[in-house]
């Protein structure tokens, strides 16, 4: 399912579940999906990685906070998700001239924290600590990672752990791309694009 298409549409997340899950059998997802399975439930499982992303071949890893709300039974950490955050991310990646095939998207707190169909639940301190503790497994799954972009306050807590794991890895920080932040401060979008441009040039 790797393609030059930048946006496949949110409907494909519901209508093409089986092809997406089948595509996760590709070698570039083996280590990442094994890591995901090892995460267990806290209290719910983490979403799947996006088979339309770079997987472990990624040059750029984008870390957000935690999975947002969704009524879907099978979920993906995907740029195709029908959220304002995903829409903004697509726009900023295109502005930074970073192709989707070079990026993998994930969350610092990887678990889904709220039941399907309910409102989003912010991570507790314990959730954050637990997510940070699993970062070594995540980073170890990548083969040619050049940079990590930490988007938002929670993701930025990952700088120290990542530096200890990969001290030469380029780490960028910027605001979270949620519409809550992007639409309320004119400096947020340029800051995110600048961080992505720097990540893409690593």
37-71 pLDDT tens trace: 999 999 899 999 999 999 999 999 999 999 987 87
Q: What is the pTM of this model?
A: 0.92
Does residue 27 fall inside a structural domain?
yes
Q: To the nearest whole percent, how much of the chain has pLDDT over 90?
A: 80
Does residue 169 fall inside a structural domain?
yes
Residue 99 has pLDDT above 70, yes or no: yes
Does residue 2 fall inside a structural domain?
no
Q: Kindly state the tokens that stand for 65.
A: 């906070």
What is residue 3's predicted lDDT score, i.e. its pLDDT? 38
Residue 89 belongs to a domain with what CATH number?
A: 3.40.470.10
How many Å from the N-terminal Cα to the C-terminal Cα in the chain? 26
Phi, psi for residue 176 in degrees, rounded to 5? -70, 140
What is residue 69's predicted lDDT score, i.e. its pLDDT? 78
Does residue 84 fall inside a structural domain?
yes
Nearest in space to 177 (alpha carbons), one of 164, 158, 190, 163: 190
Segment 160-188 mean pLDDT: 96
Is pLDDT larger for residue 72 or for residue 41?
A: 41
Residue 1 has pLDDT above 90, yes or no: no
The strands making up 60-64's β-sheet, listed across from edge to edge, are 103-107, 60-64, 147-151, 170-174
Does residue 137 fall inside a structural domain?
yes
User: Of how many residues is the chain composed?
Assistant: 202
Segment 144-164 mean pLDDT: 98
Domain count across the chain: 1
Instruction: Give the range of the structural domain holding residue 113, as residue numbers without chain letter.
Output: 12-200
Distance in angstroms (rounded) separating the CA atoms of residues 122 and 9 = 26
Does residue 103 fall inside a structural domain?
yes
Does residue 112 fall inside a structural domain?
yes
């Amino acid at each position: 399912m790797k393609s030059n298409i930048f946006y496949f549409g949110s409907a494909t997340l519901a209508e093409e579940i089986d092809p997406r899950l089948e595509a996760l059998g590709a070698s570039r997802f083996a280590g990442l999906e094994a890591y995901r399975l090892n995460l267990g439930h806290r209290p719910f499982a983490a979403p799947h990685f996006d088979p339309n992303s770079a997987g472990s071949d990624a040059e750029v890893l984008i870390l957000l906070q935690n999975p947002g709300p969704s009524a879907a039974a099978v979920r993906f950490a995907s740029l195709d998700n029908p959220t304002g955050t995903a829409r903004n991310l697509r726009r900023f990646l295109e502005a930074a001239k970073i192709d989707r095939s070079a990026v993998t998207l994930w969350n610092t707190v990887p678990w889904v924290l709220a039941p399907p169909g309910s409102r989003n639940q912010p991570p507790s301190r314990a959730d954050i600590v637990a997510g940070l503790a699993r970062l070594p497994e995540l980073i170890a799954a990548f083969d040619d990672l050049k940079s990590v972009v930490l988007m938002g306050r929670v993701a930025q807590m990952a700088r120290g752990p990542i530096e200890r794991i990969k001290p030469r890895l380029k780490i960028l920080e910027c605001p979270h791309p949620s519409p809550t932040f992007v639409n309320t401060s004119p400096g947020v979008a340029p800051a995110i694009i600048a961080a992505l441009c720097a990540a893409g040039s690593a």
